[in-house]
Amino acid sequence: MKVRIDIMLKNGVLDPQGKAISHALSTLGFAGVEDVRVGKSIIVTTSEPDAAKATEAAKAMAEKILANLVIEDFKITVL
Amino acid sequence: MKVRIDIMLKNGVLDPQGKAISHALSTLGFAGVEDVRVGKSIIVTTSEPDAAKATEAAKAMAEKILANLVIEDFKITVL
């Protein structure tokens, strides 16, 4: 089973990487860019055949290691 | 219009960050992890109200600046 964990900074948390990209895009002539946020997506392939159990495991991985819950939110999608 | 650009390393390109996460997960007791791939997701908010034009612009952004097409693939989703 393949599961995707999307990790994004929470709203309100400053995203310097996003700001840098936004600035670069404007400088390079892309008009109308209002905001850019950057996140990670982690695709985990497990031997677990059950989608619900794989989601559960991915949630535990995100909470325990992959995401910093103080400043980040995560979302899990079964692929 | 909000557009998400997902950038992942192409299949076959070594992903050391993914390997490190995979190893960390196994060490920390998550059984059955077969493979981990890590990518970036970039959410761009533009003033463009038309979805097709926003997608077009996002494609240009990805091709010109955000993705390294030699080793990375990208996918665009309108949010």
CATH number of the domain enclosing B11: 3.30.1280.10
What's the whole-number mean pLDDT along residues A38-66? 94
Q: How many domains does one find in chain B?
A: 1
Model confidence at B19, pLDDT cuts 50, 70, 90, reads very high
How distant is the Cα of A29 from the closest Cα of chain B, in angstroms? 10
Provide the ipTM.
Answer: 0.87
Please report the pLDDT score of residue B67 as a whole number. 95
What's the whole-number mean pLDDT along residues A17-38? 94
* Residue B6: both structure tokens together: 């997902």
Model confidence at A76, pLDDT cuts 50, 70, 90, reads very high
Average predicted confidence (pLDDT) for chain B: 94
**String of DSSP letters for B14-67:** --HHHHHHHHHHHHTT-TTEEEEEEEEEEEEEES---HHHHHHHHHHHIIIII-
Cβ pair B65:A24 closer than 8 A:
yes
Contact with chain B for residue A66, Cβ under 8 A: yes
Please report the pLDDT score of residue B70 as a whole number. 96
Contact B49, A47 (CB under 8 A): no
Model confidence at A44, pLDDT cuts 50, 70, 90, reads very high
- Render pLDDT for B58-69 as a digit per residue (tens, 0 to 9): 999 999 999 999
What's the whole-number mean pLDDT along residues B19-28? 94
Please report the pLDDT score of residue A51 as a whole number. 92
Contact with chain A for residue B48, Cβ under 8 A: yes
Please report the pLDDT score of residue A28 as a whole number. 92
| Structural domain boundaries enclosing B64 | 2-78
Contact with chain B for residue A57, Cβ under 8 A: yes
